[in-house]
Amino acid sequence: MHLVIGNKNYSSWSLRPWIAMKHMGVPFEETVIPMALPGTKAAMLAHAPHGLVPVLKDGDLVIQETIAILEYLNDRFPDRGLWPADLAVRAKARAISAEMHSGFAALRRDCPMNMRRPVRKHIPSPQAQEQAARIDAIWTESRNTYGAAGPFLFGQFTAADAMFAPVVNRFHVYDIPRSAVSDAYMATMMAMPAWREWDAASRAETWVIDSSEVA
Ligand SMILES: N[C@@H](CCC(=O)N[C@@H](CS)C(=O)NCC(=O)O)C(=O)O
């Protein structure tokens, strides 16, 4: 398999399938396309017609869109438990993942993912604060209701954790208020070997995207 991604420091969508594949133990090659450069769009279009990353290639099959990549990984490796096994719990995991995929635009705009940003308090717009509060509630409720079998949102690591991984970085580096339960969940995510590998690689990158650097 071959995963095409953007800069590890900034590409929030890329982190999601990458951390899932690493955690699942799926071997893959990766290509990093640095973003916000003159050749970025052409380089992305060379891999998939929507001109975005991530893109997963499995032989001749080219899959765009993060949520479709995660679904494909679940179908391709059904023994790895990328979604919870229980029907109702799986539905809840998919519901919060769908919220993440389609929502929280103000938070994403005001607080871009930036792995190597030093932790520094940033107070985003009121709308972004409302969205952060919803995410805090999602994490707290998931942990309290479904998390007994492990430290992730649904106990074991699932696609829902992959979907929220970039937001863990945002809550951390912008010091966004959260519950003690969410704080412990964030610590779990940031202690994952896959997280540490991605984080170290992001710090080794030299590209800087000024528009993603929030004071
Ligand atoms: N809906 C897409 C969003 C992907 C996306 O917006 N990716 C960003 C990078 S995080 C991108 O490719 N931006 C284009 C660019 O930088 O030129 C998905 O779910 O994968």
In order along its 215 residues, the chain shows pLDDT tens digits of: 999 999 999 999 999 999 999 999 999 999 999 999 999 999 999 999 999 999 999 999 999 999 999 999 999 999 999 999 999 999 999 999 999 999 999 999 999 999 999 999 999 999 999 999 999 999 999 999 999 999 999 999 999 999 999 999 999 999 999 999 999 999 999 999 999 999 999 999 999 999 999 99
Q: What CATH number did the domain enclosing 42 receive?
A: 3.40.30.10
CA angle, residues 22, 23, 29, in degrees to nearest 5:
15
**Segments forming the whole domain that contains residue 143:** 84-196
Residue among 147, 209, 163, 194 at smallest CA distance from 28: 194
Instruction: Decide if 98 is inside a domain.
Output: yes
Q: What DSSP state is assigned to residue 36?
A: S
Residue among 132, 31, 141, 22 at smallest CA distance from 73: 22
Instruction: Decide if 214 is inside a domain.
Output: no
What is the strand order of the sheet 55-58 is part of?
A: 29-33, 2-6, 55-58, 61-64
* Residues 145 and 88 reside in one and the same domain: yes
* Residues 121 and 184 reside in one and the same domain: yes
Return d(Cα 188, Cα 53) in angstroms, integer. Answer: 26
* Residues 73 and 91 reside in one and the same domain: no
Q: What is the pLDDT of residue 193?
A: 98
Does the Cβ of 50 fall within 6 Å of ligand 1? Answer: no
Residue type, 30: E
Does the Cβ of 17 fall within 6 Å of ligand 1? Answer: no
Does the Cβ of 71 fall within 6 Å of ligand 1? Answer: no
* Residues 113 and 98 reside in one and the same domain: yes
* Residues 57 and 151 reside in one and the same domain: no
* Residues 120 and 72 reside in one and the same domain: no
Instruction: Decide if 215 is inside a domain.
Output: no
